[in-house]
Structure 1
Amino acid sequence: MIFDRRFFALVILICIAVIRAKETSSDDELNYEMDEGVVVLTDKNFDAFLKKNPSTLVKFYAPWCGHCKHLAPEYEKASTKVSIPLAKVDATVETELGKRFEIQGYPTLKFWKDGQGPSDYDGGRDEAGIIEWVESRVDPNYKPPPEEVVTLTTENFDDFITNNELVLVEFYAPWCGHCKKLAPEFEKAAQKLKAQGSKVRLGKVDATIEKDLGTKYGVSGYPTMKVIRNARRFDYNGPREAAGIVKYMTEQSKPAATKLTKLKDIERFMSKDDVTIIGFFATEDSSAFEAFSDSAEMLREEFKTMGHTSDPAAFKKWDAKPNDIIIFYPSLFHSKFEPKSRTYNKAAATSEDLLAFFREHSAPLVGKMTKKNAATRYTKKPLVVVYYNADFSVQYREGSEYWRQKVLNIAQRYQKDKYRFAVADEEEFAKELTELGLGDSGLEHNVVVFGYDGKKYPMSADDFDGELDENLEAFMKQISSGKAKAHVKSAPAPKDDKGPVKTVVGSNFDKIVNDESKDVLIEFYAPWCGHCKSFEPKYKDLAQALKKTQPNVVLAKMDATINDAPSQFGVEGFPTIYFAPSGKKGEPIKYSGNRDLEDLKKFMAKHGVKSFQKKDEL
C-alpha cells in the first residue's frame, strides 16, 4: 500500500512537471522576435499572438516588393506611437498564412479589433496615416491632430495670401480621385515644411463650393495647384508626393536670382550650355532692381542661371553700366554669326519689358532643343528643328558640332525672315518624329518646321535624299514659297456621321469647325477621361434639342489624343470646350463655366453670330 501511494504521488508530480513545462514552453513562444518595433509573426506563433493581442494590425509583405520597402519605415515609425502592437508576416515564407487570409498582393494589411476580424486596412501608407487610421478605431476618445493644410474660403483667402509671403494652394473637388490621392501627401508636406521651420504655407480650396475663387485663379481641372508669392500667382510645376512638394517649395522660397558678390563667383556661375542672365546694379534699392527681381520670380522655372552683382570688377570686365542686364550666350553654342551677349538698359523698365526681352533673346542662333527647354526657349515660330544624333558631350562634341555648323550656315541667311533654328537629339524626340511619319524615314537628318499657323511641316524622305545642307536649303525654299505640305495627325473620318454630335478628326477639322455658315461648339475629349464619359449623354441631349431650333449651330467633338487641332484651340485638360462662331474662327472662345446644359446654351447665345439671334430662343 505504501508503494502504491508513493507511485501514485510520483505520477502526479510528473504530470505537474509536464504541465508546467508546457506552460513555460508556451510562455517562451510568446517572446516574439521584434524588428524595429514591429512583431515578426510566423505560422507557429500567429494564433497565440492574436489570442494575447486581440486588437492588432498585421502587414503581409514580400521582401522583393517595392511598395513594401517604401511602406516599411513608415510602418516602423507608427509602431512606436499607436496603442496596439503592429506585426508583420513574410508571406513568401509563411505561405499557409497567406492562403488562410487570401493574400493576393503586397503589401496587404489586416486589422483585428477585440478578437473580431480581420478587416482590410484602407488608410494612408505613411506614419501619420497609419496612426490616425488605427487610433480612430481603437480609441473612442481619439482626436486627430489639427491639419497643417489650411482650409481656405472666400472669407479667409485674401488674408492668408497677404499674411504669408509664399504659399501653395490646391484647388480640389471632393469627388476627384487624383485629389484624394494627393490629400495625404499634401498634408504630410505641410507637416514637414513646418518641422523644418519653413515659412512656406499650404492651403486648400474646395473649388466646387468656392466657385468665385476657382474662376479667379483659372481652375479648369482638378487638382489645380498655384504658387502664390507676395500675392502674385504662378503655376505649380512640381511633383505630387510629399518629398517632392517639400523640395520644390523649398527651392521656391530661395531668391530666384542669385547674389554674386565677386567676379570669380560670376565666372563660376556662368552656364556652359545655357544662357546666363546677370543684372548689374549699383544698389538693390532701386526700381530697376525691383523689376529685375520680379521678372526673375516669374521666370524661375525657365532660367536657372539668373544672378545680380554690384562688384566693380564685374562692371569693368563686361563694360557694364548701372542697371544693365546682360544675357550671355553659352560658349558651347556660340557662333561667328551672332554676338556673345545682349544688353538691356532702358529707363523705367517694367518686369513685363524684361520678360519680353529675355524670351526674345533666350536662345542662340542654333542651340540645342531638349524636352526640358522646348516649352520655354523654343516657343516662337516659325521654328526649324534638325534632328540627328545631337550629343554635345565631350566624347561626341566634334561630330555633333560639324552638323550644327552646316545648319548655322543656312540659319544665318534666314535671320532677317525671323526664322529660328535648333538642333535636337533624334532619340529624345523619337515619339514626336514617329507621329510626324519620320520614325523610319531613312534620313540621317530629319527636319521639321513648326509654322506660324501651328502646323508642322516635316521634310519628306521621298523628296530629299542629298546631304544635310543641300536638303535643308531646298526644303527652306519650299517653306518660303508656301509649297511645303503640312502634316496633320488624324484618325480616319467617320463614314456615317449622322448623330446629333459631329465627329471631328484632324483631316476634316477645317471643313466642319471653320465652316463660316455655322457657329460651332466643339468638345475636345480623351477616351479614358471619366468627366468626358459622364458629360457625353448630356452633350448629345443638348445637340438633339438644338437640332431643330438652332439649325445654324453645330455641336462637335474631337478625340484630342489622336488628332491635331489648330494652335488657337489649346487643350490642357479634358474635356475642353471651345465656341467658334462665324467670322471669329481664328479666335475661338474657351468655355470655362459648369458643364450644365443651360449654362452652355447661355454661353452660345451670348457669343452666337449665326445662331441664337432672338432673346426668346433661350
Structure 2
Amino acid sequence: MTSDNIDMTLASNELVFLNFYAEWCRFSNILAPIFAEAADKIKEEFPEAGKVVLGKVDCDKETAIASRFHINKYPTLKIVRNGQLSKREYRGQRSAEAFLEFVKKQLEDPIQEFKSLKDLENLDSKKRLILGYFDRRDQPEYDIFRKVATNLKEDCQFHVGFGDAAQAMHPPGTPIIVFRPDVALSHENDETYTGSLQNFDELKIWVQEKCVPLVREITFENAEELTEEGLPFLILFHHPTDHNSIKDYKSIIERQLLDEKQNVNFLTADGKRFAHPLHHLGKSEDDLPLIAIDSFKHMYLFPHFSDMYSPGKLKQFLQDLYSGKLHREFHYGPDPSNDIEPDPHTGKGTSPPESKFKELGPSKHRYTLLEKDEL
C-alpha cells in the first residue's frame, strides 16, 4: 500500500486488513511470510471483488500513512470496515489460520434477528444492546443500521425485528432504534434514537456514545489495548457476583467525574481474576470491593470503599494523584492537614507498590516499540 492507492482501496472494499511494518524489525520479518500465506487463503475463501483485501504498509517509506494511522510499534495490524477505521487493532495469534478465522468473523452479519418481542426477554442483561424495529429488510434505513452495526459490533449486541415481529413497537413506515443498557450492571434506562435514520455518521455517533461506556471492564483480553491508551486507571475490584458495587460505582463516576474522562480510564475488574494486583496492594478476595489507581508507575489504594459514596472523595483521590500527594504521602505519611486515616498497608518510608497493569501492555517480545517511555 502507498499514498497513491490506499484511499481507493479503503473506499472500495468492505474489509481491509492492514499490516504496518518496518524492514528492520525482526517481528515484522517473522510475520511477512505468514501474512502473505493468509492473503492467499483469504482470497481463496472470499474471491469476490470488493469483499476483503489484505494490505501492507512499509512505514519507513510511507511515513505519511504511518503518521495518519498513529503507528507506534511494529508490526501493527489494523482493520478498516466500510472505509471506517476500527479503533481496535488485531492483537491475536499470528498465524495464517488465525488470520483467516478472524476475517471470517469480521465478515459475519453482526445483527441477530428476533421473530417475536418475547425473544427480547431472553437477551443478556449484562450486555449493552441496540434494538432495531423495521417493516422490511430492503428499507434504506436498515442498510444504514447494518453498516453502523458492522463498525461497532465489538461494542454492542445488535438485534432487529421485521414486520409482524416489530409492528407493536413502531408506527408503520417509521423504523425505530432503541438502546437498552446493561441493566444488571448499571442504573441506566432505555433510550430511543431521535436523529435521522438516513444519516450514517449521525447514527454511528449516537450508537458509539451509548455502546462505549464511560466505565469499562478490564479483562486479560483487552488489557493490552486499554494500557496502550496511556491514561492512568481508576479501578473498582469487585467480587464476580457483586453487581451492586458496579452499578453504584458507574453511577457515581457518571455524576461526579465526567469531566475527568480525558485524563483517566474508569474501569471495573473481577477481583478473582485479577488477584495478583490485589495481592500487590496487600489485599485479598476477602477485602472486596475496593478501589485503586494504577498510574503505570505505582498503584495507590483508595483508603475506604465506603468513602466512594461521599460526594467529592473520589474526585479528591484523583486530584491527589495529579498533584503528587499520593506519592508523597506514601513516602512520608499523611500531610499535616490530612484527616484521612493512614492505611495500615502503606507504611512510612516505603515506596508505593509498582504498577501491575503496565506489565499487560504491548510486549517487547512481540513488538518493536517505537516510544518505550510512552507507557
TM-score normalised by the chain length of structure 2: 0.65
Structure 1 position 424 matched with structure 2 position 256: no
Q: 1:228 aligns with which of 61, 80, 88?
A: 80
Residue number in structure 1 paired with 2:193: 344
Residue number in structure 2 paired with 1:211: 63
Deviations 1:217-265 (A, max 9, x none): 433332222323343333542432111100111111223334x262279
Residue number in structure 1 paired with 2:101: 247
Structure 1 position 473 matched with structure 2 position 326: no
Q: 1:288, 1:349 within 8 Å by CA — same for their partners in 2?
A: yes
Residue number in structure 1 paired with 2:347: none
Structure 1 position 298 matched with structure 2 position 180: no
Q: 1:387 aligns with which of 229, 237, 243?
A: 237
Cα distance in 1, alignment partners of residues 246 and 110 from structure 2: 34
Residue number in structure 2 paired with 1:196: 45
- Residues 278, 297 of structure 1: alpha-carbon distance in 2 compared, 3 angstrom cutoff: same
Q: 1:386, 1:448 within 8 Å by CA — same for their partners in 2?
A: yes
Structure 1 position 170 matched with structure 2 position 44: no
Cα distance in 1, alignment partners of residues 283 and 155 from structure 2: 29
Report the 3-state secondary structure (helix = DSSP H, G, I; strand = E; otherwise coil) of the residue aligned with 2:16.
strand
Q: 1:333, 1:366 within 8 Å by CA — same for their partners in 2?
A: no
Aligned sequence identity (%): 21
Cα distance in 1, alignment partners of residues 176 and 212 from structure 2: 19
Report the 3-state secondary structure (helix = DSSP H, G, I; strand = E; otherwise coil) of the residue aligned with 1:171.
strand
Tell me how far 1:331 sits from its aligned partner: 5.4
- Residues 384, 205 of structure 1: alpha-carbon distance in 2 compared, 3 angstrom cutoff: closer
Cα distance in 2, alignment partners of residues 412 and 294 from structure 1: 31
Cα distance in 2, alignment partners of residues 166 and 407 from structure 1: 36
Tell me how far 1:439 sits from its aligned partner: 4.5
- Tell me which amino acid in the other structure corresponds to 2:369: F
Q: 2:11, 2:83 within 8 Å by CA — same for their partners in 1?
A: yes
Cα distance in 1, alignment partners of residues 110 and 32 from structure 2: 28
Structure 1 position 262 matched with structure 2 position 119: no
Report the 3-state secondary structure (helix = DSSP H, G, I; strand = E; otherwise coil) of the residue aligned with 2:108.
coil
Query: Which of structures 1 and 2 has the bigger CA Rg?
Result: 1
Cα distance in 1, alignment partners of residues 250 and 69 from structure 2: 41
Deviations 1:415-457 (A, max 9, x none): 543569875321323344466x355697343123699xxx986
- Residues 478, 289 of structure 1: alpha-carbon distance in 2 compared, 3 angstrom cutoff: same
Residue number in structure 1 paired with 2:334: none
Deviations 1:485-535 (A, max 9, x none): 43999xx9xxxxxxxxxxxxxx9xxxxxxxxxxxxxxxxxxxxxxxxxxxx
Q: Where do residues 51-450 of structure 1 align in structure 2 (5 Å cutoff)?
A: 152-158=1-7, 160-161=9-10, 164-199=13-48, 200-234=52-86, 235-239=88-92, 240-258=94-112, 260=113, 262-263=115-116, 266-267=119-120, 270-283=123-136, 288-303=141-156, 305-316=157-168, 318=169, 322-330=174-182, 332-333=184-185, 337-339=187-189, 341-347=190-196, 350-362=199-211, 370-372=219-221, 385-391=235-241, 400-401=242-243, 404=244, 408=247, 416-417=255-256, 424-433=269-278, 437=281, 439=283, 443-448=287-292
Q: 1:329, 1:364 within 8 Å by CA — same for their partners in 2?
A: no
Tell me how far 1:273 sits from its aligned partner: 2.5
- Tell me which amino acid in the other structure corresponds to 1:247: E
Report the 3-state secondary structure (helix = DSSP H, G, I; strand = E; otherwise coil) of the residue aligned with 1:576.
coil
Q: 1:387, 1:445 within 8 Å by CA — same for their partners in 2?
A: yes
Deviations 1:343-395 (A, max 9, x none): 1122367444334433443489999664557879xx9x99975323223xxxx
Cα distance in 1, alignment partners of residues 89 and 253 from structure 2: 37
- Residues 333, 159 of structure 1: alpha-carbon distance in 2 compared, 3 angstrom cutoff: closer
Tell me how far 1:186 sits from its aligned partner: 1.1
- Tell me which amino acid in the other structure corresponds to 2:101: K
Cα distance in 1, alignment partners of residues 101 and 39 from structure 2: 12
Tell me how far 1:178 sits from its aligned partner: 0.8
TM-score normalised by the chain length of structure 1: 0.43
Structure with more contact order per residue of length (Cα contacts < 8 Å, sep ≥ 6): 2
Q: Where do residues 35-54 of structure 1 align in structure 2 (5 Å cutoff)?
A: none
* Aligned Cα root-mean-square deviation (Å): 4.8
Report the 3-state secondary structure (helix = DSSP H, G, I; strand = E; otherwise coil) of the residue aligned with 2:130.
strand
Q: 2:133, 2:176 within 8 Å by CA — same for their partners in 1?
A: yes
Report the 3-state secondary structure (helix = DSSP H, G, I; strand = E; otherwise coil) of the residue aligned with 2:160.
strand
Cα distance in 1, alignment partners of residues 239 and 57 from structure 2: 47
Cα distance in 2, alignment partners of residues 450 and 358 from structure 1: 30
Residue number in structure 1 paired with 2:346: none
Cα distance in 1, alignment partners of residues 150 and 254 from structure 2: 30
Q: 1:456, 1:488 within 8 Å by CA — same for their partners in 2?
A: no
- Residues 481, 387 of structure 1: alpha-carbon distance in 2 compared, 3 angstrom cutoff: closer
Residue number in structure 1 paired with 2:342: none
Cα distance in 2, alignment partners of residues 488 and 434 from structure 1: 26
- Tell me which amino acid in the other structure corresponds to 1:345: T
Cα distance in 1, alignment partners of residues 21 and 215 from structure 2: 42
- Residues 170, 480 of structure 1: alpha-carbon distance in 2 compared, 3 angstrom cutoff: closer
| Matched positions, count | 323
Cα distance in 2, alignment partners of residues 261 and 459 from structure 1: 45
- Residues 266, 186 of structure 1: alpha-carbon distance in 2 compared, 3 angstrom cutoff: farther
- Residues 413, 440 of structure 1: alpha-carbon distance in 2 compared, 3 angstrom cutoff: closer
Cα distance in 1, alignment partners of residues 221 and 282 from structure 2: 22
- Residues 186, 425 of structure 1: alpha-carbon distance in 2 compared, 3 angstrom cutoff: same
Cα distance in 1, alignment partners of residues 97 and 251 from structure 2: 46
Deviations 1:259-316 (A, max 9, x none): x26227953883342122122233555664344333223212222x213332333241
- Residues 432, 320 of structure 1: alpha-carbon distance in 2 compared, 3 angstrom cutoff: farther
Report the 3-state secondary structure (helix = DSSP H, G, I; strand = E; otherwise coil) of the residue aligned with 1:277.
strand
